[in-house]
Amino acid sequence: MTHDVDLGRYAVHTDLALEAKEMAEEAGNPIPGVLTETSEADGIKVTRLEVQNEAGSQAIGKVIGKYVTFEVPELRTHDSELGDKVATRFAQEFERFLQQLSVPANASVLIVGLGNWNVTPDALGPLVVENTMVTRQFFELMPDQVAPGYRAVSAVAPGVLGITGIESSEIVQGIIEKTKPDVVIAIDALASRSLERVNTTIQIADTGIHPGSGIGNKRKGLTKDILGVPVVAIGVPTVVYASTLVNSAFDMMKEHFRKEQGDTSQLMGLIDQLAEQERLALVKEVLSPLKHDLLVTPKEIDQFIEDIANVIASGLNAALHEAVDSSNVAAYTH
Amino acid sequence: MTHDVDLGRYAVHTDLALEAKEMAEEAGNPIPGVLTETSEADGIKVTRLEVQNEAGSQAIGKVIGKYVTFEVPELRTHDSELGDKVATRFAQEFERFLQQLSVPANASVLIVGLGNWNVTPDALGPLVVENTMVTRQFFELMPDQVAPGYRAVSAVAPGVLGITGIESSEIVQGIIEKTKPDVVIAIDALASRSLERVNTTIQIADTGIHPGSGIGNKRKGLTKDILGVPVVAIGVPTVVYASTLVNSAFDMMKEHFRKEQGDTSQLMGLIDQLAEQERLALVKEVLSPLKHDLLVTPKEIDQFIEDIANVIASGLNAALHEAVDSSNVAAYTH
Amino acid sequence: MTHDVDLGRYAVHTDLALEAKEMAEEAGNPIPGVLTETSEADGIKVTRLEVQNEAGSQAIGKVIGKYVTFEVPELRTHDSELGDKVATRFAQEFERFLQQLSVPANASVLIVGLGNWNVTPDALGPLVVENTMVTRQFFELMPDQVAPGYRAVSAVAPGVLGITGIESSEIVQGIIEKTKPDVVIAIDALASRSLERVNTTIQIADTGIHPGSGIGNKRKGLTKDILGVPVVAIGVPTVVYASTLVNSAFDMMKEHFRKEQGDTSQLMGLIDQLAEQERLALVKEVLSPLKHDLLVTPKEIDQFIEDIANVIASGLNAALHEAVDSSNVAAYTH
Amino acid sequence: MTHDVDLGRYAVHTDLALEAKEMAEEAGNPIPGVLTETSEADGIKVTRLEVQNEAGSQAIGKVIGKYVTFEVPELRTHDSELGDKVATRFAQEFERFLQQLSVPANASVLIVGLGNWNVTPDALGPLVVENTMVTRQFFELMPDQVAPGYRAVSAVAPGVLGITGIESSEIVQGIIEKTKPDVVIAIDALASRSLERVNTTIQIADTGIHPGSGIGNKRKGLTKDILGVPVVAIGVPTVVYASTLVNSAFDMMKEHFRKEQGDTSQLMGLIDQLAEQERLALVKEVLSPLKHDLLVTPKEIDQFIEDIANVIASGLNAALHEAVDSSNVAAYTH
């Protein structure tokens, strides 16, 4: 997230580590220091990816850390049974993720829902906040009476700079200083390189939120360095840049020709020989009559966002509280 | 709207007559029987286009009729002063349009807002309905007491087939038979060929709504033939197909090369030599991993739709009622 | 619904037959020709009430017909398990109700959601429409391929006079003439005499919707006489008049004194001796500085309306389609 | 706000100083140390009230401080011209109020919108936040380039304890420590003693927000003592307790009888002789079948809240920035 994939040939921004790795592989680069492990069941593909060292970080343009990606192509079909399965899988994986980070089972948690209430594809974070079970108030008011199996969870949606006049990270810092959570979980809507990832992919990362990531205008990040506590980031691509959509269509076309004819130079002419970076610059120039590089989103975005916010909120409720039955996650969401 | 632009080389669907004409021109076809007249002021470009005969209809793939297009590139900037100017201009042009159709000043009007409340880019029609001034009830209940300068206006949002189980056109027919309006004004969200038209262009047409147009799944139209009264259609592109976005990027790229180097064959290879139709088919095939051909919309769609619905509702209020001051259109909208 | 409870002493309007009967009983009137049968389980009280003849109709001020009332005091607690139980109970009772009316299992149904989208306590009908499963389109397009266990269901929200300029009943008539349903189910928000009924009571009636009932300004009804097909009405009190709230507080106070001291005349003075009608007139006069007799609703109305709309939509889905499992009603609602 | 009106005879809670004073006067108490000054124009009544000393504070149960109340009975009529007048008047009065508090024209301001997004009558604060013009970010990023006539304004909606698990006051404290505003303006929805005040009255106070005031469950306040900077509170009654509604109806009835007959003892019996406190207790007991003492709100609350939030946001924009033309306040609100 801090640096884009940029190896001489690459300058396509992506917030997803898995996508960054795939792009580096497509470019034929060697990928040292990046481990992946994939499992698939029930239409849910889970990839655990670890950037182990600086070489790996350089190779794919992502900071050192652990990443888990859920890919569920059918998540856009508004199938509530599949939604429950994804939430359950998410809960299991998230619990494991916290354990790997040595976050104790009773560590207090602050959930931060980044983004703008009034812009549907950017409302993911606030929607998750609205649907998670908060318990911190009971621990504050009557710590002796809280049933076992719960931990102190609080949740805020700090808004965006254009509405508040304050950086989200400053608001969160202020709240952390007052409430002293042990760990922060930050949820954010992302821009993806490919339209098929929009609202079908969820990424968990232990790297926090880096400046310039996400679809808003984040100039400061939410990281352990800044906040003083570990920050787990949950991101979902909800939009795609018009330019990356066009650019990736070129790639798909090239791949298409390659499969059919083995050679693409004649078909695609010089475009084929442009470096990725140059080609993207060309696409951006060509799309410039659109004034600014538009972020686009599927027209059914209202339903998609609601569905995926429910999945994440249900998953978090089950992962954070032992007392919440992870086999029936939906029952605890409002 | 009934037929796509399809002249051997063309099969790109567009709901906008102006866009259809431009596409035919780009293809170098002669365009007989189509008259246009353009004026521009205050950042608002108005084009009156008339398809005069069957030759013209064949040439651009639009039915014989009158079309007026408003192009306002800055309409997406959420500038309320510009919005008022567009509404005022729209009101003037709409009034003139009704006069040309010989619709008398006291003709009763039924406004039909097509589309789905729950899908933001498809909610334009229902939003306009919500914001127009209806007066028919006063004419029904106390016709002698209605102040001069008003006519009987009613407004309905019939919903979409997936929510109601009934074709919009059947619902509208039923309502027309009961309430006997003299003319129908149907508002619909459209798909455009180019992203820059999305929420910046408004089209008025005397041709009604034809099957297959718009972004919903309209299998029956709203035309004079079907409804028995003249139907004026107001359309706004609010979405664009991912495939047309990519395809038009090719055109922009070609144009770009042509300007720079005069020749594109080397740069774009065989793609350059593909017929439009073949190329679009190729793009669609290439994008097929997206499962269905996604309609995309800018991420700020919530605000855009609200703004443009206000422009149209304000414009209609001023155009339909002499008593509504067309120099201050906004005051009458809720 | 057509006439208020008015027996010399009474002129308090209620849309609920059960409430009307209780008021008549409180007034000490004999109630001939009204049968009731009550059962209670799981915190859900179901009363089947039949007004058998003109004497019964006179006695309680309700038209001859069958009424079923569900009273669930805890329905406002946002308990999703209870909600599912109520929906299941509602489905069973509704199925039985249709059988008693000799509506065949394959009779086609039009669901009409009365009320105003933009006024939360009046949005019940439109919300139910949005959440019911419509199937008519499949019967129209491919009747041979519809799976067994379903019937043709359509659903419309005709809006309110102030938004459309057309009486709801005219819109519904027009749609019925076009689509020929065998039976209409009309959902409406009601005004209640008592605050505790608000969003806790559901009434089914075979009498249709009568003019002047509900919280909107209905001047025409939806009845078999008008529409030509049987009309089952589903009503939920979502508001209460400020004046009836105050007036019923007097009754509660009187009852309170009676229990404590056996006599109320000294405590309540002449107020005690006022006829109900006079007292209500007095209360209305006293509250007149409020300008119009305000309808009030609990502040949590947004959540309450959403919950009860889900209960009704789930219940209808299970009652109307054999294939929908009535033991798991919630799964079929969006 | 800290203490209720409680003079042996009184225990009716009100958040409005003007109402508290009227209640004390009705009770026939002498009111020392409370100055009021009233002006009225254009249907807007403005009362400046000052509680000057401890005696005054005791007399009306409000803390020492300055209060300004706007009473606009027609504010519920959705008249946009009146709305603009109220916003303009509010802006003038608010500017004067800040001057009296010796807040310099360039003092930085943090606007705090208390309340719950998802409960319409409690959403006033968040809605104002959404509609105010924030400028702090420009002062932070490019202080030299901000046009004259603006000051640094930021705005947050901290949410409610049930959603966040954190006291609003803790969140605000954290944000203040990070962003160092010179003054806080806190907007809150209140409960009123009378239904006619709901959405027609606005109160400004220099006393901050005291624990237990407002319609939420505030257990900690927002005051200068707690936050370290002056806190101006803006409150609007948006709900009324069912019990206070009934109780005040008794008062209106008593007053009604007094005017008509000079004597009320016979008419109202012992109720007349009950102390206010006892009578309210009686009403509460009588209403106890409602389970909890319901807060009620007019059914048109959605529109009312939107209108009054616009009035306050427009008024604040004009009052806080000299460059915003206070004669055309509406133009600057989104």
pLDDT in tens, chain A (334 residues): 233 333 333 345 688 999 999 888 877 777 889 999 999 999 999 999 999 999 999 999 999 999 999 999 999 888 888 999 999 999 999 999 999 999 999 999 999 999 998 899 999 999 999 999 999 999 998 888 888 899 999 999 999 999 999 999 999 999 999 999 999 999 999 988 788 888 999 999 999 998 767 766 566 889 999 999 999 999 999 998 887 777 777 777 777 777 766 666 665 665 666 666 676 777 776 666 655 557 888 888 999 999 999 999 999 999 999 888 766 565 555 4
**Contact: D174, A175; criterion CB under 8 Å:** yes
CA–CA gap between residue C83 and residue C69 (Å, rounded):
16
State the best of C199, C294, C305, C306 to mutate against chain D, taking most chain D CBs within 10 Å.
C294
The neighbours of chain C, by the rule of 3 or more Cβ pairs under 8 Å, are A, B, D
**Contact: B156, C164; criterion CB under 8 Å:** yes
Instruction: Find the mean pLDDT for residues C138-161.
Output: 93
Phi, psi for residue A75 in degrees, rounded to 5: -65, -20
In the structure encoding, which two tokens stand for residue A187, read together? 């949820």
Helix (H, G, I), strand (E, B) or coil at A161: helix
Q: Is the ipTM of this complex over 0.85?
A: yes
- pLDDT exceeds cutoff 80 at B331: no
Nearest-Cα residue of chain B relative to residue C139? B165
Alpha helices in chain C (DSSP H): 17-26, 54-60, 80-100, 124-131, 136-141, 161-164, 168-179, 224-227, 242-261, 265-273, 276-286, 301-320
**Contact: A78, C334; criterion CB under 8 Å:** yes
- Which single residue is written with the structure tokens 């409720």? A317
In the structure encoding, which two tokens stand for residue C210, read together? 């009568």
Nearest chain D Cα distance for residue C194, angstroms: 9
Ranges of chain D with pLDDT below 70:
1-13, 212, 215-219, 260-277, 279, 282, 285-293, 326-334
- Which single residue is written with the structure tokens 């799309």? A287
Chains B and D form CB pairs within 8 A to the count of: 4
- Which single residue is written with the structure tokens 């519809």? C146
Least confident of B168-182, B236-250, C183-197: B236-250
Calculate helix-pair angle for D242-261, D276-286, nearest 10 degrees.
130
In the chain, the amino acid numbered C64 is I
In the structure encoding, which two tokens stand for residue A54, read together? 């600086």
DSSP A210: P
> Regarding predicted confidence, which is higher, C186 or B141?
C186
DSSP A209: B
**Contact: A215, B299; criterion CB under 8 Å:** yes
Instruction: Find the mean pLDDT for residues B191-218.
Output: 83
What share of residues in chain A are helix, strand, coil (percent, to 5)? 45, 20, 35
**Contact: C78, A334; criterion CB under 8 Å:** yes
Calculate helix-pair angle for A242-261, A276-286, nearest 10 degrees.
130
**Contact: C266, D266; criterion CB under 8 Å:** no
Closest partner residue to D80 (CB to CB) among B78, B80, B331 is: B331
Q: Does B80 touch chain D (CB under 8 A)?
A: yes
CA–CA gap between residue B202 and residue B46 (Å, rounded):
10
Upper half-sphere CA count for residue C323 (Cβ side, 13 Å): 11
pLDDT computed for residue B97 by the predictor: 97
Nearest-Cα residue of chain D relative to residue A161? D137
Listed residue (D110, D217, D173, D231) closest to A175, CA to CA: D173
A8: left (phi over 0), alpha (psi -120 to 50) or beta: left
pLDDT computed for residue D264 by the predictor: 60
Beta bridge partners, A44, equal A41
DSSP C211: T
Q: B3 pLDDT band (50/70/90 cuts)?
A: very low
> Regarding predicted confidence, which is higher, C221 or C8?
C221
Closest partner residue to C331 (CB to CB) among A78, A80, A331 is: A80
The neighbours of chain B, by the rule of 3 or more Cβ pairs under 8 Å, are A, C, D
Q: What is the pLDDT of residues C45-103, one digit of tens each?
A: 999 999 999 999 999 999 999 999 999 999 988 888 899 999 999 999 999 999 999 99
| Contact in structure between A151 and A109 (CB atoms under 8 Å) | yes
- Which single residue is written with the structure tokens 């009324």? D240
pLDDT computed for residue D334 by the predictor: 45
Helix (H, G, I), strand (E, B) or coil at B201: strand
> Regarding predicted confidence, which is higher, C107 or B22?
C107
| Contact in structure between A255 and A33 (CB atoms under 8 Å) | no
In the structure encoding, which two tokens stand for residue A30, read together? 């060697």
D16-244+293-332 CATH: 3.40.50.1450
| Contact in structure between C112 and C184 (CB atoms under 8 Å) | yes
- Provide the sign of the torsion angle of the four alpha carbons A22, A24, A25, A27, taken in this order: positive
Q: Does C331 touch chain A (CB under 8 A)?
A: yes
Helix (H, G, I), strand (E, B) or coil at A163: helix
pLDDT computed for residue C324 by the predictor: 87
Residue A275 CB: number of other CB atoms within 10 A? 13
> Regarding predicted confidence, which is higher, A312 or C325?
A312
Q: Does C171 touch chain B (CB under 8 A)?
A: yes
DSSP character string of D91-102 = HHHHHHHHHHTT
CA–CA gap between residue B247 and residue B286 (Å, rounded):
11
Q: Which residues of chain B are within 8 Å of residue D78 when distances are taken between CB atoms?
A: 334
| Contact in structure between B204 and B232 (CB atoms under 8 Å) | yes
| Contact in structure between C241 and C12 (CB atoms under 8 Å) | no
Distance of CA A242 to the CA centre of its chain: 19
In the chain, the amino acid numbered A117 is W
pLDDT computed for residue A259 by the predictor: 73
Give, rounded to a whole angstrom, the gap between the first and last alpha carbons of chain D: 32
| Pairing mode of beta strands B231-241, B201-205 | antiparallel
Nearest chain D Cα distance for residue A218, angstroms: 12
Q: What is the pLDDT of residues C260-270, one digit of tens each?
A: 666 666 656 65
Q: Which residues of chain C are within 8 Å of residue D115 when distances are taken between CB atoms?
A: none
Phi, psi for residue B161 in degrees, rounded to 5: -55, -40
pLDDT computed for residue C259 by the predictor: 72
Would you kindly state where each structural domain of chain D is located, as residue ranges? 16-244+293-332, 245-290
b/e sequence B232-265, b meaning 16+ C-beta within 10 Å: bbbbbbbbbbbbbbbbbbbbbbbebbeeeeeebe
Least confident of A34-48, B253-267, C175-189: B253-267
pLDDT computed for residue C326 by the predictor: 63
Residue B128 CB: number of other CB atoms within 10 A? 31
- Provide the sign of the torsion angle of the four alpha carbons D139, D140, D141, D143, taken in this order: positive
pLDDT computed for residue A89 by the predictor: 96
In the structure encoding, which two tokens stand for residue D68, read together? 């300004």
Q: Which residues of chain C are within 8 Å of residue D271 when distances are taken between CB atoms?
A: 253, 267-269, 271
Q: Which residues of chain B are within 8 Å of residue A121 when distances are taken between CB atoms?
A: 299
Percent of chain C whose predicted confidence (pLDDT) is above 70: 81
Q: B300 pLDDT band (50/70/90 cuts)?
A: confident
Nearest-Cα residue of chain D relative to residue A159? D156
Distance of CA C298 to the CA centre of its chain: 18
In the chain, the amino acid numbered A69 is T
Separation in Å, CA A8 to CA A4, A247, A270, A285, D71: 11, 17, 18, 20, 68
Q: Does C80 touch chain A (CB under 8 A)?
A: yes
In the structure encoding, which two tokens stand for residue C86, read together? 């109520």
pLDDT computed for residue D5 by the predictor: 37
**Contact: B171, C159; criterion CB under 8 Å:** no
Phi, psi for residue D41 in degrees, rounded to 5: -160, 145
In the chain, the amino acid numbered B159 is G
**Contact: D268, C265; criterion CB under 8 Å:** no
The neighbours of chain D, by the rule of 3 or more Cβ pairs under 8 Å, are A, B, C
- pLDDT exceeds cutoff 50 at B187: yes
Q: Which residues of chain C are within 8 Å of residue B143 when distances are taken between CB atoms?
A: none
Q: Which residues of chain B are within 8 Å of residue C146 when distances are taken between CB atoms?
A: none
Helix (H, G, I), strand (E, B) or coil at D142: coil
Least confident of A304-313, B219-228, B265-274, C39-48: B265-274
Which H or E run contains D313? helix D301-320
Q: Does B298 touch chain A (CB under 8 A)?
A: yes
Closest partner residue to A195 (CB to CB) among B242, B253, B268 is: B242
Instruction: Find the mean pLDDT for residues B222-241.
Output: 94
State the best of D178, D219, D316 to mutate against chain A, taking most chain A CBs within 10 Å.
D178
- pLDDT exceeds cutoff 70 at C140: yes
Nearest-Cα residue of chain A relative to residue B302? A119
